[in-house]
Structure formats: C-alpha cells, structure tokens
Amino acid sequence: LERINELREARQSLTADKDELAAEITELLNSRVSETISSIAEPQTKELIDRVVENIDAEINTNDTTGNESAEIIDEDDPKSITDPAGEEAYSVQFHANESGSPAFSAGVQGDVLVKCVNFLISNRNLISKVEPLPYIPGRTRAIIHDSAEYNDKTVKLPKELDSGYVLEANLSADQKKREIRRLADQCEISVSFGGDW
C-alpha cells in the first residue's frame, strides 16, 4: 500500500511539474551534449515523462477517474456535449462530425486522451463493429484493440482497459497515438484535429 501511495504521489508530481522537469532534462542534455539538440530534445522529454506516468498507471492498475484529473463529463440531455472540466491541458483531440457535433477530449497525459477518444468511438460511433474481427491490427503485427491482453502468443505491452471491457495498446509514441486516432476516426467516417503539445 505504501508503494502504491508513493507511485500515486510520483504520478501527481510528474503530471503537475511536467514542463519544468522537461526543461531541466533538456537543459542537462544541452550542457552535457550540445545545445543544437534543444529543439529535438524538449518534445521528446515531455513524451518520456508521459510514458513514465503511463507505466506508473499500469503498475498500480489505476482506472480511477475521480478527482480533478481529466474526468469526462457527459451531459445526459445532450450526448453530443462531451467536455473536460480540467480546462486547458497539454494534449487535446477534437472529432468533427456534422450529425454528432464536435466532441473534444483533453488530458495532461497522451495515453489518457487516447483512451477517451477510443471509448467515445466505441460508444458513439460503433467502432468495434467496424474493426472486427479482433484483435484489430492496423499494421503488420501489433494489436491496438483486443478483447484481452494476449493474442497470437503475444502480450499487449501497456494495456489500458476501455469502458466496454476491451483492451487498448497504449505503448505508442506521440506520433503513433495520433496516427491510430486518425485511423480509428477514418473507420468511423469522421475527421479529427489535434491541439496542445502533440
């Protein structure tokens, strides 16, 4: 229990101080290696911090969306209205579909936004029926969506449980996450745009 509490505190610190930590890591690389890599290093350090947070989540198996961090609020009178009460956050995604409005999702961690987007597409755009049979493998070997964490003698590296009980592979770089969100949106015949620090 003590380790879990320490992991939760670490997650909170990493999320709250991400920009400052990324700047410090970039500064260290500038001084130890070369200042010419600064523009390349800074976005990568933020992504590194996001991955550490996602790995912490996986270790403590947290699916808790209570508190102020990135919980979805769905207006029951208007299912098209999906907002994030946490306000401005580092990563945001907006879907564009005439008949269902333009739902938007944001979070301080890329993996959380990915989960929100896929949950929305499953619940509101019938995604699973469009990518069956599972596992959904858009490339050659890696399953992105499956009904379990194992497939073809392989294991999902960073599984995130979706609301519907399916499993999502979150062990992806920022560009890979964006690519998969676009692919899934295409399957549902809607467009998507990205904002924030992607």
pTM of the model: 0.61
Rounded to a whole number of angstroms, the CA Rg of the chain reads 17
Same domain, 79 and 130: yes
Under DSSP, is residue 64 helix (H, G, I), strand (E, B) or coil? coil
Query: If you count them, how many residues does the chain have?
Result: 198
H helix or E strand, kind and range, residue 70: none
Q: Give the mean pLDDT of the chain.
A: 82
Same domain, 130 and 188: yes
Same domain, 184 and 162: yes
Q: What is the DSSP string of 1-26?
A: -HHHHHHHHHHHHHHHTHHHHHHHHH
Answer yes or no: are the C-beta atoms of 52 and 46 closer than 8 Å.
no
Same domain, 85 and 32: no
The domain in which residue 51 lies consists of 2-60
Q: Which two tokens stand for residue 87?
A: 């306000």
Residue position matching structure tokens 């029951």: 76
Range name among 25-34, 62-71, 89-98, 155-164 with the lowest pLDDT average: 62-71
Same domain, 92 and 50: no
Under DSSP, is residue 74 helix (H, G, I), strand (E, B) or coil? strand
Quote the crossing angle between the two packed helices 174-187 and 110-125, to the nearest 10°: 10
Under DSSP, is residue 178 helix (H, G, I), strand (E, B) or coil? helix
Give 29-81 pLDDT, tens digit per residue.
Answer: 888 899 888 888 888 888 889 889 888 887 776 434 333 333 333 332 333 33
- 47: in domain: yes
- Percent of the chain with pLDDT strictly greater than 70: 84
Higher-confidence residue: 20 or 1? 20
Answer yes or no: are the C-beta atoms of 190 and 103 closer than 8 Å.
no
Higher-confidence residue: 164 or 59? 164
Residue 188 has pLDDT above 50, yes or no: yes
